[in-house]
Amino acid sequence: MIPPDSDGLLCPIDVAIVGGGIIGLTQAHELLTRGFRVALFESELVCAGQASHANGGQISAESGSPWMSPVIRRELPRWLFDRHRPFSLDLFRMGSGAFPWLGSSLRNTSRRRYLANHGSLHALTRYSLGVWREYEAELGSPLVPGSGVLYLYRSHREWKAAQELLSWEGDLAIRAEVLDQDGCLRRVPHLQYAPIAPAGGFWYPDDHFGDCEAACRKLLDHALRKGVRLHLGETVHSIEPGSESVTLVTGCGCYRAEKVVIAAGVGSSALARSAGIRLPIYPVKGYTRTYSTSPLVCDGPALADQSRKVVLTPLGNRLRVAGMAEFAGFDDQPDLRFLRRIHDTASDWLPELRHVPSELDWACLRAMTPDGLPILGTAKAEAVVLNVGHGPLGWTLAAGSARIVADGIESRRSRNAIDPSPFRLARQRGVS
């Protein structure tokens, strides 16, 4: 760590980044590559210790879509009485801020709003995958090595509804192959041993998968070689924008930078409030279980149970199972009921898992916006910049988001001409 100078302020720095997960590390990589002097602040003693530590592991370049969709509105009454529903609302722990957020989210389930949001999100997921490929070339190492994800549906009703939704999205030219039951079994022959049979599915050849934490380590190693000033275990308590710079107040003192990028996940809301910025994000808890199991189970491709919103991702000699969306405020402790629920779902497709113990159970909070789009770009006085609100698509969107934010800091148009306006804070808040 670089110590403060005699005035208690950091040696000259161009950009300070708050948050050492996949979003912050990718942002650091993008800025360091462009020659910026960067300091990275992470409150934990390690990088990628929270949401990036054991996430679902899938890069949803084609399948990524806003969580709030017309399907949610259609299925919500049924899900309320389904013990396998993919969400949980804890009214005693949600906090009063959850209800306005949920109201805004439900307004985004209309067909018009969903298609508009999905169009913007799909442009970013595709763009981000291209940037990830550039990063792999720069680092000389694969970051997202696996390819191909099979989406499975348990009932014909759900499968037909998904096909209808896909037909609405024809203008997006989503690369997906519609498969009946036999097509799913041909794509993944191992499914023939499952106690249930898929009603149908979709094959996404351009979706990818891998270990997000391993990718974070590679990005961190490269950042250290490029001269990042790393501040681990140092919490940024507040941000004070000035006329020409911004001051970060931490437990160790004050640091000054020309700009600060807030990339602290669910911690971004409190940090932004200290700078006079209100963010429309809410913490939604997700769960993962990681298994050491047979190579046959881990051989790929990745799977996604769309009926229960659970993903199964091969990670070499391990399998990652992730799912659930629990609304319980800032409580990040895992609930054994939901861990069992995603275990049972995974075992339906891979019966070998039925009696395999998990080597790691994990729960993390994901910062979600009402419309499912991240918030990117300048927020106040040009000195405070946002890279927040990626929800369950953090790894998918990280590289593209970092490039959009870096282009904004340099005040230049994106290299691939992606439109950044859908991701501005003013649009997220409905200002325009």
All structural domains of the chain with their residue ranges:
64-108+144-205+281-368
Q: In 10 A of CB 129, how many CB atoms? A: 22
Q: What whole-number distance in Å separates Cα of residue 31 and Cα of residue 48?
A: 19
Runs of H (alpha helix) within 316-393: 336-349
The residues pairing with 326 across neighbouring beta strands, listed in sequence order, are 88, 285
CA–CA separation, 298 and 27 (whole Å): 31
For residue 34, the model assigns a pLDDT of 97
Residue 321's DSSP bridge partners are: 289, 312
- Report the alpha-carbon distance of residue 185 to residue 303 in Å, rounded: 12
Cβ distance 29 to 402 under 8 Å? yes
| Cβ(259)–Cβ(409) below 8 Å | yes
The whole-number pLDDT of residue 74 equals 84
At 429 the pLDDT is 52
Alpha carbon distance 250, 41 (integer Å): 10
Residue 399: the pLDDT is 98
d(CA 324, CA 56) in angstroms, rounded, equals: 11
Residue the block writes with tokens 């861990």: 339
SS3 80: coil
Q: pTM for the full model?
A: 0.94
What is the distance between the alpha carbons of residues 394 and 303, in angstroms, rounded to a whole number? 19
Cis peptide before 3 (omega within 30 of 0): no
**How does pLDDT run along the chain (432 residues), one tens digit per residue?**
334 443 444 467 999 999 999 999 999 999 999 999 999 999 999 999 999 999 999 999 999 999 889 888 888 888 878 888 899 999 889 998 899 999 999 999 999 999 999 999 999 999 999 999 999 999 999 999 999 999 999 999 999 999 999 999 988 999 999 999 999 999 999 999 999 999 999 999 999 999 999 999 999 999 999 999 999 999 999 999 988 899 999 999 999 999 999 999 999 999 999 999 999 999 999 999 999 976 656 667 999 999 999 999 999 889 999 999 999 999 999 999 999 999 999 999 999 999 999 999 999 999 999 999 999 999 877 899 999 999 999 999 999 999 999 999 998 665 656 899 999 998 765 433
Report the Cα 394 to chain-centroid distance in Å: 2
Name the token pair of 142: 């694969």
- Cα distance between residue 82 and residue 77, in whole Å: 9
Count of other CB atoms within 10 angstroms of residue 186: 12
Architecture of domain 64-108+144-205+281-368: 2-Layer Sandwich (3.30)
How does strand 146-153 pair with strand 236-241?
unpaired
